[in-house]
Amino acid sequence: MRFAGKVVIVTGAASGIGAATAALFAREGALLSLADLNAEPLRARARALDIAAHALLQTTTDVADAEQVEALVAATVKKFGRLDVLVNNAGVGVLGRVTELSTSDWRKMFAVLVDGPFFASRAAIPYLIRTKGAIVNVGSISGMYGDHRLAGYDAAKGAIVNLTRAMAVDHGPEGIRINAVCPGSVATPMSAALLADERIVRHYAEAVPLGRSGKPEEIADAIAFLASSQASYVNGHCLVVDGGLTASAGQPNFSRLLP
């Protein structure tokens, strides 16, 4: 019950990492404010967690819209009287090299992945100062390294990784801890199309030392740690949760290739 009585906002809470994070915070006693662009899946998630009666559900919230995000934070504080944790999780991704991406896809990724956390953090920080609270941004190893055909996603995740560091430097003196979790491949609805390809699944089985993609619940555990008092001296950190994928230098597997 690390979060008993704490008020937590989770964006992109209807599925994937956001849903797993909401479930974990609920089990540990948090008062939840859940936001998602998809209304019915969010309501279903609240019913499944048995929190619909006492949680704040901000359905059809577009994190790329500053007014909607500001309204989310204001409504949360009005209902619960405080704010302790903000989890910026809402995400979107489009495959493509820079020569293949449309302007609208490029701007959509930056609007959701960068503008959204910026808007939410800007609105939340005045309240988090009062509670000495925490922000956890969901970054990615794609924000720390380059990928094939993920130019826009890599660029946007790179921006949120460094925004995390910058906000930690700026707002640490006010008692707010700001960190990011940086997952590798995770089995979520957003990645379902890719992980439906057996060739990609085999690649992760070979490339990831743990031999598989991650589970949303494993990322939720990392988010909750960073948000909790157990990480009271962790600030400006980007916690990689990728099964060891980025621990490799990318050399061939000599154990398999050489006698």
Q: Which residues are catalytic?
A: 153
Tell me the DSSP string of 138-187: E--GGGTS--TTBHHHHHHHHHHHHHHHHHHHHHGGGT-EEEEEEE-SB-
Q: Residue 107's CB: how many other CB atoms inside 10 A?
A: 14
Q: Count of alpha carbons within 13 Å of 94, Cβ hemisphere only?
A: 19
Q: Cα(253)–Cα(72) distance, rounded to whole angstroms?
A: 49
Q: Any bridge partners for residue 85, and if so which?
A: 8, 134
Give 199's contacts (C-beta < 8 A, 6+ positions apart): none
Give 78's contacts (C-beta < 8 A, 6+ positions apart): none
Q: Cα(180)–Cα(162) distance, rounded to whole angstroms?
A: 10
Maximum distance among all alpha carbons in the chain?
67
Give 217's contacts (C-beta < 8 A, 6+ positions apart): 20, 23, 24
- Reduced to 3 states, what is the DSSP secondary structure of residue 59? strand
